Amino acid sequence: MGNRQSKIEKSPHEVLGLSPVSTKKEVKDCYRTLILKVHPDAQKVHSSKAPKEAMEIMEAYTSIMRSPPGFEFYTEELFRKDLRKYADDFFERISDYCRIPGAPKFSDPDFERFYQVFTNFRTQKVFDSEEEKSEFCRSVRKVARIVKSLDKRISIDSFSIEAHPAPPKVREKKTKLYPYNCDHCSKGFHSHNQIIDHFRSKKHFERIRLVSEDPKKYIEKQLQEITCQDLSEITQEPCTEKELEIVEDHKAEEQSVPKKTGHIREPAPFRTCAECKAVFNSRAELLTHLKMGHKEF
């Protein structure tokens, strides 16, 4: 089937001393070993039989490499011996024979694509007849099904999917942590001013009203506690009422004292006389000095 006709009486594999299921690597290694023994250029003593033997070996090697593998030899028993070795070699030779660019290999991680190609195998190669072409494709698909039935990767994956389904992914809600929290309203705040505004709000007042008989005193106590908490974090000591009064008085003084906005003094080069090199307090004094003819005033 598609084999190259040659003048060799023996089969090409018999000439090289190989089995019909030898891999491409084994064929190449055997060819190199034999050709070095009988090639005329490698012989020290020339023999009349050497060129003929070398020609037979070369023809046998070419016939094997250009022909498809024998389908009758690739049985289930053979693949059970070494599935990876024979499956890789068989389908690689099929791809080379049919000249399929980028054909998947048996040992590729994406074995699903490999079986998708070869269990539904078709080729564009031209044969002597359509019957021969269809028979070739059927033989390739048959070998692919045998290999698939022995491939442990498929059985393991199918078992793991059916018996151990992957649990659905649940997104964990990230809880935010705030430095200030109101337990009654279940709210968090980023700053001291925010929680104070919250304590003074109507919503907080209504919530405290349900808990305490005197909500105003309760809120005042909350304000005092949160202020003491801030001071204790700064001083690392418990806050007393006197210290609290001192801090509040200090804040009030800072707010009542207006900020000093002084006159921006001009740079020295603009207040310096170029001739006398005298420096004045202002530009007006410099102009007066120039009007008086560089005299002191």
User: What is the chain's length?
Assistant: 297
For the chain, residues with pLDDT lower than 50 are 1-2, 4-8, 156-164, 234-238, 260, 262
**Rounded CA gap, 289 and 51, in Å?**
120
Q: Helix (H, G, I), strand (E, B), or coil: what is residue 122?
A: coil
pLDDT score, position 8:
43
pLDDT tens, residue by residue, 102-139: 888 898 888 888 998 899 998 888 899 999 999 999 99
- Whether 94 contacts 69, CB under 8 Å: yes
Q: What is the value of pTM for the model shown?
A: 0.47
**Rounded CA gap, 127 and 257, in Å?**
104
pLDDT score, position 135:
93
**Rounded CA gap, 110 and 117, in Å?**
12
pLDDT score, position 235:
47
Which of these, 151, 145, 219, lies nearest to 185 by C-alpha position? 219
pLDDT score, position 160:
39
Radius of gyration from C-alpha coordinates of the chain: 49
pLDDT score, position 91:
92
User: Is CATH 3.40.190.150 correct for 12-66?
Assistant: no
DSSP one-letter code for 262: P
pLDDT score, position 143:
92
Sequence ranges of the domains in the chain: 12-66, 71-153, 194-232, 267-296
